[in-house]
């Protein structure tokens, strides 16, 4: 073969490779199913809301959006799994307050918030203080009286240290000076429910989206809500502020992607979240559960997360979080 033929073949091969690269780059995203890692067991608020939104997102994206539950280690198992995946938008992280608090309670959490970028908020969620349906306690006043009599015998459950239900429980204890009530961590709020219903722990804080059925069935009783106003779904349950205590609390629930995910992919995912929240079936369902469906762009959500992470330093000191 002459040098001229070799040169021609080399140029032809390079041209074909360049064309193939161009076609691959131009290939529309997504071309395969998207997976959302939920860091809690099935049945909690994060799981329930993510499933609702994911189903509608799949319509917009034209691909299945699959829920992958990976509970454990205060949600670190799921976070670290997503951190190790390619930054291609095919694996997302459903998270809440734990994302901002874990670096304050773990000596080596294995991630930094900078390892992820915000895709969009799905909801802001208030909490309900719940006791077992067969317990004699019928109001906050009843519970406070009980705890002041025998608080050192009482405990409450939460879905993970420094998670939103844990912080809500500690803020409640502080508001009523009930520091003697012991906090018991579980692997997700869904795992707490059987012990609350059986009376093995005296209360816990959860969202209506995951506890509404148990309340309606009489297996748990709602004593008060942490929202600014009463929940439409629980019109007879007072807010803490109505009861004379300056205690209101809600947390975000959103989707994150690994840092480095192409901006155009993040934007497509963000638009799919907007599509889901603006749909009547998803929007009405989330609002009926007492949550806010305010939409945030990826830029706004990422800035919100950065502020929360910075603010969490003071919360960690106030509530005396210690690192393991």
3-state DSSP assignment of residue 284: helix
Hunting for tokens 């006791």 — which residue is that?
131
pLDDT in the model for residue 4:
47
For 284-323, b/e burial (b = at least 16 CB within 10 A) is ebbbebbbebeebbbeebbeebeebbeebeebbeebebee
Hey, which residues does 66 pair with through a beta bridge? 35
pLDDT in the model for residue 24:
45
Q: What is the residue-level pLDDT of the chain in tens, covering all 324 positions?
A: 554 454 555 555 544 445 544 444 457 999 999 999 999 889 878 898 999 999 999 999 999 999 999 998 889 999 999 999 999 999 999 999 889 999 998 999 999 999 999 999 999 989 999 999 999 999 999 999 999 998 789 999 998 888 889 999 999 999 999 999 999 999 888 899 999 999 999 999 998 888 999 999 999 999 999 998 899 889 999 999 999 998 989 899 999 999 999 999 999 999 999 999 999 999 998 888 778 888 899 999 999 999 999 999 988 888 888 888
Q: CA neighbours within 13 Å on the CB side: how many for 181?
A: 27
Nearest partner of 84 among 259, 204, 300, judged by Cα: 259
pLDDT in the model for residue 9:
56
3-state DSSP assignment of residue 62: coil
Q: CA neighbours within 13 Å on the CB side: how many for 64?
A: 6
Domains of the chain: 34-124+251-318 (3.40.190.150), 128-225 (3.40.190.10)
Hunting for tokens 């909801």 — which residue is that?
123
The answer to whether residues 274 and 54 touch, using CB atoms and an 8 Å cutoff, is no
The answer to whether residues 268 and 88 touch, using CB atoms and an 8 Å cutoff, is no
pTM metric for this prediction:
0.75
Distances in whole angstroms, Cα of residue 285 to Cα of each of 86, 164, 292:
33, 22, 11
């Amino acid at each position: 073969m002459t040098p001229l033929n070799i040169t021609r073949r080399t140029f032809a091969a390079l041209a074909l490779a360049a064309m193939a690269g161009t076609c691959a780059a131009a290939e529309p995203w997504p071309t395969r199913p998207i997976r959302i890692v939920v860091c809690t067991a099935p049945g909690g608020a994060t799981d329930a809301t993510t499933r609702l939104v994911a189903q509608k997102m799949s319509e917009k994206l034209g691909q299945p959006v699959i829920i992958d539950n990976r509970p454990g280690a205060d949600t670190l198992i799921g976070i670290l799994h997503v951190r190790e995946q390619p930054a291609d938008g095919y694996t997302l992280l459903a998270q809440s307050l734990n994302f901002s608090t874990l670096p304050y309670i773990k000596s080596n959490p294995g991630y930094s918030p900078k390892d992820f970028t915000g895709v969009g908020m799905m909801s802001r969620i208030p909490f309900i203080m719940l006791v077992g349906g067969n317990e004699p306690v019928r109001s906050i006043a009843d519970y406070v009286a009980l705890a002041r009599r025998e608080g050192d015998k009482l405990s409450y459950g939460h879905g993970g240290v420094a998670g939103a239900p844990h912080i809500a429980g500690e803020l409640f204890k502080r508001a009523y000076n009930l520091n003697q009530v012991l906090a018991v961590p579980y692997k997700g709020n869904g795992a707490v429910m059987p012990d609350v219903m059986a009376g093995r722990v005296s209360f816990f804080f959860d969202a209506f989206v995951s506890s509404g059925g148990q309340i309606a069935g009489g297996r748990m009783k709602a004593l008060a809500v942490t929202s600014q106003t009463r929940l439409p779904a629980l019109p007879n349950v007072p807010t803490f502020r109505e009861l004379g205590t300056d205690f209101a609390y809600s947390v975000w629930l959103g989707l994150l992607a690994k840092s480095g995910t192409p901006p155009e992919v993040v934007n497509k995912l963000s638009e799919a979240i907007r599509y889901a929240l603006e749909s009547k079936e998803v929007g009405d369902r989330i609002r009926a559960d007492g949550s806010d469906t305010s939409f945030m762009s990826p830029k706004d959500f990422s800035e919100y997360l950065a502020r929360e992470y910075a603010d969490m330093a003071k919360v960690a000191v106030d509530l005396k979080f210690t690192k393991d």
